[in-house]
Amino acid sequence: MQGLMQRTPLLLSSLITHAARNHAGREIVGRSVEGPVVRTNWGEVEGRAKRLANALARLGVREGERVATLAWNTQRHLELYFGAIGSGVVLHTINPRLFQAQIEYMLEHAEDQYIFFDLSFAALVSALAPRIKGVRGYIALTDRAHMPAIDLPNLLCYEELLAAESAQFSWPDLDENAASILCYTSGTTGNPKGVLYSHRALLLHSFCAAAADGLGLSCMDSVLTVVPLFHANAWGLPFAAAMCGAKLVFPGAELDGGSLFALTRDEACNVVAGVPTVWFGFFDYIDRNRDKLDLGVFHLDRALVGGSAAPRSLIARFDRDFGAFLLHAWGMTETSPIATIGRLLPKHAGLDREARYDIQAKQGRPVYGVEVRIVDDAGQELPRDGVAVGHLVVRGPWVTAGYFRGEGGVVVDAENWFDTGDVATIDSDGYVTLTDRAKDIIKSGGEWISSIALENAAIGHADVLEAAVIGIPHPKWVERPLLLIRCKEGKVVTRQDMRDFLADKVARWWLPDDVIIVEDLPHTATGKLSKATLRKLYANHQIAPESAPAAAP
Ligand code: AMP
């Protein structure tokens, strides 16, 4: 027997309709690429998204076709999220930090019809244009006064395009499984692969992101969205915020600690979201300007941090400086992205701070909708005992079933489990602790050393800004850990200091055989430490003679 409820399709356009009708005046604030902070609201975003939908139709972009963005987090990029997607056009959000050759590949592979770009990327677009055949036009996300002086075929001005259109548009009744966003993952080897999200997947993901045991979002929240709109849908924040009428605050192209500090303060942000590197910069700014700054005026309550492991020291900093709870989440482009979130359980109520930080440093428990488990090399499930280490596999309605155009072949098993490429433990409460990417784990004397755990321990040192651990070949132990650290400005940490500091924090045989102080550490386009680059750079590194390899187990 069938139920008798309405079969309303789960479409992302319903979110902007809801936000505009019920939270029209709730602000969207962002630093524009032109410079000033600009203010709009959900009502205006809807009107402009509809103008954009009309413009796309006039340009001849049809349902299912792709348009690309090369853009920062701004109100215009948000309009594209709703205007393009709502009208059935697929929004291909490109990470502008990728290599030009990768961007070219993605534009060709996606067959993008138009490229919407921020002024910051005018030179990049000029360089790409002669090489990309299928693109029909380029739309600069600015007004006439700021149009870039570049010579491009079919160069259009976004504000003029919108001004010429009506703000009346009826969102089409799409199939809820229709594609909405296309986002390529940038593996360290091979071509990027496209993850193609459906409306249904991202709408369900919004419920999970907003839920009390997710981000706990409401119309009372003001959310600084540092995580880019071009990276895994900004962790679903634009959609979740529209669902509850939360205020969104966008940093534009200004991602340095000082700018983020000012925006968080001035816009009374109580929620912030971004990768750890961003917050290292934020707290470094605070450290360097401590006597001039008043932290007492902040409203910060929670920081959503993921993309790389949030070290314990960062968890403590948010707590100490702002009384804010760092919500540690894990996910990937292929999981839309939220899969686990580090909320506490009732039994943790009485924990002291230090014990609570230990729980927060784990990558969290699965949100409803995503199932997780760890398996051995043969695919057999391993126990949830917090000790067994295995390949982390996931499945659920917002987990990918396969990449765009079948790249990479079949990526899920017969029961839909997707191998994340991460290695983890799961404890009896369901908390996932990531030990490594499978390819980064250090195999020493037949045992595994977690580079993430070592990095987190090293970064706990007061003078260390950032740390990276890679395995380097060793004649006896196969691989041994090499620690690279970037010190805070004006601070010096020696190799011996670091080994002494780590001595009571990790097993003796985990102690890095060498510690190198570096000026800078390489990052990938998504802000993660680039271990592949480091492995290449230090492939022939000789362990310092006085460093006797520690005893393996
Ligand atoms: P991306 O698809 O670029 O978002 O990258 C996803 C990958 O980032 C995951 O497979 C993990 O290796 C890593 N990652 C994401 N969140 C975390 C986290 N909280 N801790 C450690 N690594 C993470």
pLDDT tens sequence across 316-331: 999 999 999 999 999 9
187 — pLDDT class (breaks 50, 70, 90): low
The one catalytic residue among 40, 142, 185, 335: 185
* 427 and 379 both lie in a single domain: yes
Ligand 1 neighbour 328 (Cβ under 6 A): yes
Pick from 398, 280, 386, 407: which is nearest to 340 by CA?
Answer: 398
| Residue 484 burial (CB count, 10 A) | 24
For residue 541, give the CATH number of its domain: 3.30.300.30
Ligand 1, atom 6, residue with closest C-alpha:
332
Q: Is 337 helix (H, G, I), strand (E, B) or coil?
A: coil
For residue 384, give the CATH number of its domain: 2.30.38.10
Pick from 77, 79, 97, 81: which is nearest to 89 by CA?
Answer: 81
| DSSP state letters, 152-194 | -TTEEEHHHHHHTS-S--PPP---TTSEEEEEEE--SSS--EE
First to last CA, the chain: 61
Pick from 20, 71, 29, 50: which is nearest to 242 by CA?
Answer: 20
* 410 and 454 both lie in a single domain: no
Ligand 1 neighbour 313 (Cβ under 6 A): no
Dihedral sign computed on CA atoms, order 48, 49, 50, 52: positive
* 386 and 405 both lie in a single domain: yes
Q: Quick one: pLDDT at residue 546? A: 46
Ligand 1, atom 15, residue with closest C-alpha:
307
Q: At which of 436, 469, 490 does a domain end?
A: 436
The one catalytic residue among 443, 491, 494, 536: 443
Q: Which of 35-39, 364-368, 489-493 has the lowest mean pLDDT?
A: 489-493
Ligand 1 neighbour 98 (Cβ under 6 A): no
- Average pLDDT of the segment spanning 269-275: 97
Ligand 1 atom nearest to 434, measured from its CA? 21
Ligand 1 neighbour 472 (Cβ under 6 A): no
Ligand 1 centroid, distance to 391 Cα (angstroms):
14
Ligand 1 neighbour 95 (Cβ under 6 A): no
CA distance 307 to 329: 8
Ligand 1, atom 20, residue with closest C-alpha:
309
Report yes or no on 381 lying in a domain.
Answer: yes
The answer to whether the CB of 299 falls within 8 A of the CB of 308 is no
Ligand 1 neighbour 422 (Cβ under 6 A): yes
How is residue 519 annotated by DSSP? Answer: S
pLDDT exceeds cutoff 90 at 527: no
pLDDT exceeds cutoff 50 at 549: no
The angle subtended at Cα 389 by Cα 385 and Cα 394, nearest 5°, is: 90
pLDDT exceeds cutoff 80 at 189: no
Q: For a pocket test of ligand 1, which of 181, 332, 469 has the largest count of ligand atoms closer than 8 A to its C-beta?
A: 332
Cis peptide bond prior to 512, omega within 30° of 0? no
Ligand 1 atom nearest to 421, measured from its CA? 10
Report yes or no on 379 lying in a domain.
Answer: yes
Report yes or no on 127 lying in a domain.
Answer: no
548 — pLDDT class (breaks 50, 70, 90): very low
pTM comes to: 0.93
The one catalytic residue among 44, 65, 334, 455: 334
Report yes or no on 387 lying in a domain.
Answer: yes
* 395 and 418 both lie in a single domain: yes
Q: Quick one: pLDDT at residue 311? A: 93
Q: Which of 62-76, 154-168, 493-507 has the lowest mean pLDDT?
A: 493-507
* 412 and 467 both lie in a single domain: no
* 405 and 426 both lie in a single domain: yes
CA distance 307 to 333: 10
The answer to whether the CB of 341 falls within 8 A of the CB of 367 is yes
Q: At which of 409, 436, 463 does a domain end?
A: 436
* 422 and 482 both lie in a single domain: no
Share of the chain above pLDDT 90, in %: 89
Query: Is 443 assigned a catalytic role?
Result: yes
**Residues near 330 by beta carbon (within 8 Å), at least 6 away in sequence:** 306, 339, 340, 363, 364, 422, 432, 434
Ligand 1 atom nearest to 185, measured from its CA? 2
Ligand 1, atom 23, residue with closest C-alpha:
308
- In angstroms, what CA-CA distances link 186 with 132, 366, 403, 524? 20, 25, 13, 9
Report yes or no on 241 lying in a domain.
Answer: no
Report yes or no on 457 lying in a domain.
Answer: yes
Does an H or E element contain 279, and which?
Answer: helix 276-289
- Average pLDDT of the segment spanning 103-131: 97
Q: For a pocket test of ligand 1, which of 330, 365, 455 has the largest count of ligand atoms closer than 8 A to its C-beta?
A: 330
Ligand 1 neighbour 307 (Cβ under 6 A): yes
With b meaning 16 or more CB within 10 Å and e meaning fewer, what string describes 316-338? bbbbebbebbbbbbbbbbbbbbb
- Average pLDDT of the segment spanning 4-14: 97
Q: CA 176: distance to chain centroid? A: 25
Ligand 1 neighbour 186 (Cβ under 6 A): no
Pick from 492, 469, 454: which is nearest to 541 by CA?
Answer: 469
Q: Quick one: pLDDT at residue 553? A: 40
pLDDT exceeds cutoff 80 at 139: yes
The one catalytic residue among 448, 509, 524, 533: 448
Ligand 1 centroid, distance to 422 Cα (angstroms):
8
Ligand 1 centroid, distance to 330 Cα (angstroms):
6
CA distance 261 to 298: 10
What token pair was written down for 389?
């280490």
Residue 190 backbone class (left: φ over 0; alpha: ψ -120 to 50; beta: rest): left
- Average pLDDT of the segment spanning 144-148: 98
Ligand 1 centroid, distance to 124 Cα (angstroms):
27
The answer to whether the CB of 438 falls within 8 A of the CB of 467 is no
* 447 and 539 both lie in a single domain: yes
CA distance 273 to 193: 25
* 478 and 510 both lie in a single domain: yes
Ligand 1 neighbour 535 (Cβ under 6 A): no
Ligand 1 atom nearest to 420, measured from its CA? 10
CA distance 480 to 186: 27
How many structural domains comprise the chain? 2
What token pair was written down for 512?
């890095």
What token pair was written down for 29?
């604030």
Residues forming beta bridges with residue 464, ordered by sequence position: 487
pLDDT exceeds cutoff 90 at 445: no
Ligand 1 centroid, distance to 188 Cα (angstroms):
14
Query: Is 185 assigned a catalytic role?
Result: yes
Ligand 1 neighbour 309 (Cβ under 6 A): yes
* 476 and 397 both lie in a single domain: no
Q: Quick one: pLDDT at residue 188? A: 60
Query: Is 225 assigned a catalytic role?
Result: no
In degrees and rounded to multiples of 5, residue 322 shows phi and psi of -125, -5
544 — pLDDT class (breaks 50, 70, 90): low
Ligand 1 neighbour 437 (Cβ under 6 A): yes
Pick from 276, 282, 275, 279: which is nearest to 258 by CA?
Answer: 282
The answer to whether the CB of 127 falls within 8 A of the CB of 212 is no
Q: Tell me the pLDDT tens digit for each residue of 46-94.
A: 999 999 999 999 999 999 999 999 999 999 999 999 999 999 999 999 9
CA distance 409 to 253: 36
Determine the structural domain holding residue 521 and report its residue range.
442-547
Q: CA 220: distance to chain centroid? A: 24
- List, in sequence order, every beta strand (DSSP E) within 316-449: 325-331, 338-341, 365-366, 371-375, 390-395, 418-426, 432-437, 442-444, 447-449
With b meaning 16 or more CB within 10 Å and e meaning fewer, what string describes 181-215? bbbbbbeeeeebbbbbbbbbbbbbbbbbbbbeebb
Pick from 306, 317, 415, 403: which is nearest to 363 by CA?
Answer: 306
Bridge pairing between strands 247-250 and 27-31:
parallel
Ligand 1 neighbour 434 (Cβ under 6 A): yes
Q: At which of 436, 460, 490 does a domain end?
A: 436
Q: For a pocket test of ligand 1, which of 327, 343, 434 has the largest count of ligand atoms closer than 8 A to its C-beta?
A: 434
Ligand 1 atom nearest to 526, measured from its CA? 3
* 398 and 382 both lie in a single domain: yes
Ligand 1 centroid, distance to 185 Cα (angstroms):
11
Report yes or no on 259 lying in a domain.
Answer: no
* 423 and 459 both lie in a single domain: no
- Average pLDDT of the segment spanning 150-175: 97
Share of the chain above pLDDT 70, in %: 98
Dihedral sign computed on CA atoms, order 286, 519, 310, 210: positive
Report yes or no on 483 lying in a domain.
Answer: yes
Ligand 1 atom nearest to 363, measured from its CA? 19
Ligand 1 centroid, distance to 23 Cα (angstroms):
33
pLDDT, averaged across the chain: 95
